[in-house]
């Protein structure tokens, strides 16, 4: 698709807003695709009389689109489900610096961008779900330990092309270096219960189906299963336990990643974008997220939902989340050179 076609499509999609109503719209490019977001967009519209227009695609597609549209880009905000992608957008000089403390002073410090180009909306941990009937919790410890022969033919995980796995491996590259991370990747493959397929919820379903005993998944997927309107999924969610890796005193903590947003440098509706940033990190929006999508709130005033709170507090890996973008190329190369597919 050439530049002219993309710009024409954007004009048709968002509409040719006149100067008269320019301050009454907000244009968002988003990777997220959840009902909870639609609900909060609608709430924001009702409270502020600002029309929210949303374009959804993969983060990489949205970033390329922003670059192609250049100064004519109609979008105000970029929302991703991975800090690494926000780093990429900032590195491409597509984002404008923001002062998060002016927007919301209650955002958890360990989740902030040290360079000031993006802010988190929610966060989640990459946890180990396990069958309590087949796994002794004393045998679980770290991500690194998953390569132990004890887990031969027992590990379930989705494809290496998935951003969540790429982020996890990026964190291992940041902590241990490329060589050690590569060895971990290759050794873990030898412990797979099956060829990677499906999403995170499918890995949990495979545990209950006795395909494997443990799965590497995002924490909120367990919450979604346990709260599902499908009785079978609820039963599946209740059938597994959650373990946070790397929690010992001398360990770094569990890997976390964020959903977050960045203000685009050429945003035509910056004031409305700032209003939205304040709204989406407000107590109301944060409580709505945690009680409906079962992600962890980034606002220190808000507690996790009861479903995920029952797992207890956990130590977070305080790695600079930009490393999930800085090390992404190396992580992808490791995956491509491994048998993890």
Question: Which tokens in the block code for residue 69?
Answer: 């549209």
Lowest-confidence pick of 17-26, 199-208, 238-247, 254-263: 17-26
pLDDT at 341: 87
pLDDT at 21 over 90: no
Average pLDDT over residues 43-70: 97
CA distances from 322 to 174, 210, 240 (A): 10, 37, 32
pTM as predicted: 0.92
pLDDT at 16 over 90: no
Higher-confidence residue: 23 or 88? 88
pLDDT at 80 over 80: yes
Residue position matching structure tokens 């873990």: 188
Q: How far apart are CA 151 and CA 138, in angstroms?
A: 13
Give the dihedral sign, CA 310/315/320/325.
negative
Q: How far apart are CA 260 and CA 101, in angstroms?
A: 15
pLDDT at 23: 54
182-196: pLDDT as tens digits: 999 999 999 999 999
**Which of helix, strand or coil describes residue 216?**
strand
324-340: pLDDT as tens digits: 999 999 999 999 999 99
Residue 20 confidence class, pLDDT cut points 50, 70, 90: very low
Residue 311 confidence class, pLDDT cut points 50, 70, 90: very high
pLDDT at 13: 53
Average pLDDT over residues 24-36: 96
Q: How far apart are CA 120 and CA 298, in angstroms?
A: 7
Mean of the per-residue pLDDT values for the chain? 94
160-177: pLDDT as tens digits: 999 999 999 999 999 999
Q: Which pairs count as long-range contacts for 111-116, CB under 8 Å and 24+ apart, including other chains? A: 111/256, 111/258, 111/298, 111/321, 113/83, 113/86, 113/260, 113/321, 113/322, 114/320, 114/322, 115/90, 115/322
Q: How far apart are CA 259 and CA 127, in angstroms?
A: 17
Average pLDDT over residues 239-251: 97
Q: What is the DSSP string of 93-153?
A: T-B----HHHH-TTB-GGGS-TTSS-EEEEEEEEEEEE-TTT--GGG---SGGGGSGGGTT
């Amino acid at each position: 698709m050439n530049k002219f076609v993309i710009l024409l499509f954007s004009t048709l999609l968002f509409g040719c807003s006149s100067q008269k109503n320019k301050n009454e719209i907000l244009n968002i490019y988003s990777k997220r695709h959840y009902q909870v977001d639609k609900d909060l967009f609608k709430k924001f519209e009702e409270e502020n009389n600002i029309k929210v227009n949303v374009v959804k695609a993969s983060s990489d597609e949205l970033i390329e689109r922003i670059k192609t549209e250049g100064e004519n880009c109609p979008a105000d905000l970029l929302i991703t489900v991975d800090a690494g992608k926000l780093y990429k957008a900032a590195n491409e000089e597509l984002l404008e610096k923001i002062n998060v403390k002016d927007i919301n002073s209650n955002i958890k410090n360990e989740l902030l961008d040290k360079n000031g180009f993006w802010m988190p909306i929610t966060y989640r941990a990459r946890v180990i779900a396990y069958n309590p009937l087949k796994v002794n919790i004393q045998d679980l410890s770290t991500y690194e330990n998953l390569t132990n022969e004890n887990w031969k033919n027992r590990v379930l995980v989705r494809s290496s092309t998935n951003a969540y796995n790429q982020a996890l491996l990026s964190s291992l590259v940041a902590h241990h270096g490329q060589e050690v991370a590569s060895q971990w990747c290759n050794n873990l493959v030898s412990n797979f219960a099956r060829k990677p397929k499906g999403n995170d919820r499918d890995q949990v379903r495979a545990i209950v189906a006795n395909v494997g005993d443990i799965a590497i998944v995002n924490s909120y997927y367990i919450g979604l299963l346990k709260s599902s309107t499908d009785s079978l999924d609820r039963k599946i969610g209740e059938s597994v336990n959650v373990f946070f890796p790397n929690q010992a005193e001398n360990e770094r903590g569990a890997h976390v990643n964020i959903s977050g947003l960045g203000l685009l440098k050429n945003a035509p509706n910056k004031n409305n974008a700032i209003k939205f940033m304040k709204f989406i990190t407000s107590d109301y929006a944060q409580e709505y997220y945690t009680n409906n999508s079962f992600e962890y709130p980034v606002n220190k005033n808000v507690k996790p939902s009861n479903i995920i709170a029952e797992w207890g507090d956990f130590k977070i890996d305080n790695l600079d989340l930009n490393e999930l973008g800085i090390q992404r190329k190396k992580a992808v190369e490791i995956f491509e050179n491994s048998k993890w597919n």
